[in-house]
Amino acid sequence: MEIWIGRDGERHGPYKEDDVRQWLRSGQVSRDDLAWYEGLADWQPLSVLFPDVVPDASAAPATPMAATPLPQTTTAALEDHAGFWKRVAAYILDFIILLIPSTIIQKMMGSDAAQETMKQTIMATPNDMQVFVAAYQQYYATMWPALLIVTVVTWIYFAACESSTWQATVGKLALGIRVVDEQGGRISFLRATGRFFAKYLSSLIILIGFLMVAWTRRKQGLHDIICNTLVLNGRASEFKPTAPSSTSGGSNTFSA
């Protein structure tokens, strides 16, 4: 069972029941914190939901336990893996975003002329495979500086975004998913860089490394496994402790 905890007009979670029980025993959450789970008609204090683990009220400290920040990432959150098709949709959005600068860079560096030359070479001898291959080789020999710049731009985009406080590219942010390490933390730029270039390995053998997301237990592609990363549902901002609101006045109302 997954539990949501309400504080200062915000809800936090979801958390696993076992985690909440442990935090209640240790005092990390207050007996007076409101909680809710699916099927419950209304929010209830933890002391009502879990009376068997509530500490003795007479031994409770004078300082309200609600001041203790809730964990940013929980066992429940770490198991909420983003699915294959959601990740595909995020990648399509990122592809569209990157298509604009990539097209501009290639056009500025002569892609139109290179493509026209390749087309004329192929059309001159349409059934000659050697000519076809040679035409493409000539195209890439001409355009490799532009393609290298595009690769660098793409690398910086993915690595900078996924190692930022967003923990996601624009596409992932739009789909409400994020990239984390196996403990649910923010990854470094170096690890994000490794994850980007590991995608080239995932693309080998008819994209098997990407398709692995569909059947691996934690929805990891080959690049995720290599770099010890996970892609989880939820934006990074949803898993940061909310500072106590000065205008809440201790109200127990919040958005569920």
CA distance 50 to 37: 12
Asked if residue 238 has pLDDT above 90, the reply is no
pTM: 0.66
Of residues 56 and 177, the one with the higher pLDDT is 177
Q: Which two tokens stand for residue 255?
A: 């958005």
Burial class from Cβ neighbours inside 10 Å (0-12, 13-18, 19+) for residue 215 reads exposed
- Highest-confidence range of 73-77, 138-142, 215-219, by mean pLDDT? 215-219
pLDDT tens digit sequence for 183-198: 888 999 999 999 999 9
Rounded mean pLDDT of 77-89? Answer: 88
pLDDT tens digit sequence for 25-49: 877 787 888 888 888 888 888 888 8
Report whether 57 contacts 30 (CB < 8 A).
no
Given the structure tokens 């596409």, which residue do they identify? 171
What is the average pLDDT value for the chain, to the nearest integer? 81
- What domains appear along the chain, each with residue ranges and CATH number? 2-70 (3.30.1490), 84-236 (no CATH)
Report whether 50 contacts 24 (CB < 8 A).
yes
How many Cα atoms sit within 13 Å of 221 on the Cβ side?
25
pLDDT at 8: 67
Helical residues (DSSP H) of the chain, grouped into ranges = 17-26, 46-49, 75-78, 84-108, 111-124, 129-162, 170-175, 189-202, 204-211, 222-227
pLDDT at 62: 42
CA distance 50 to 110: 69
| Residue 69 burial (CB count, 10 A) | 14
